[in-house]
Amino acid sequence: MNPKTEGRLLRIFVGESDKHEGRPLYQWLIEQARAQGLAGATALRGMGGFGAHSRLHTAKILRLSTDQPVVVEIVDSAERIEAFLPVVDAAVREGLATVERVEVRFYRAGAADGPRPPE
């Protein structure tokens, strides 16, 4: 994916306890995105939320084993995101997926111990 281009952000809202092929769904989605060569994916755990059933999912100290909301974000070109959507559609039984336009300002990979720009 070239920098300073228009891309797409795919957001997939699922539950932490959701499974696919015996693994957490969010993990499976990230692995599938990587296998298909998408630019990047991140899973974020939510502190609370609700979905289509209006059940609250929260992170309370005494209820850490509850079904936390998880958002998987994947960024790539419009064509690559569109090609990945059938994979998402087939795997997500309960959840929400959105796609929005984004401006990609940079996409870098570099050595972790390489030179850093001046601050």
* Structure-token pair, residue 23: 């693994």
Q: Which of 8-12, 103-107, 110-114 has the lowest mean pLDDT?
A: 110-114
Structural domain of 40: 5-104
Query: Using CA of residue 47, residue 49, residue 85, residue 6, what is the dihedral sign?
Result: negative
114 domain-assigned = no
pLDDT of 95: 92
Residue corresponding to tokens 């999912």: 57
17 domain-assigned = yes
115 domain-assigned = no
31-53 residue pLDDT tens? 999 999 999 999 999 887 777 76
18 domain-assigned = yes
Query: pTM here?
Result: 0.80
pLDDT of 40: 94
Q: Is 87 helix (H, G, I), strand (E, B) or coil?
A: helix
> At 27, which CATH number?
3.30.70.120
112 domain-assigned = no
Taking CB atoms within 8 Å and a gap of at least 24, the contacts of 105-109 are: 105/3, 105/4, 106/3, 106/4, 107/1, 107/2, 107/3, 107/39, 107/40
pLDDT of 107: 87
Tally of structural domains, the chain = 1
53-109 residue pLDDT tens? 666 666 565 555 567 899 999 999 999 999 999 999 999 999 999 999 999 998 888
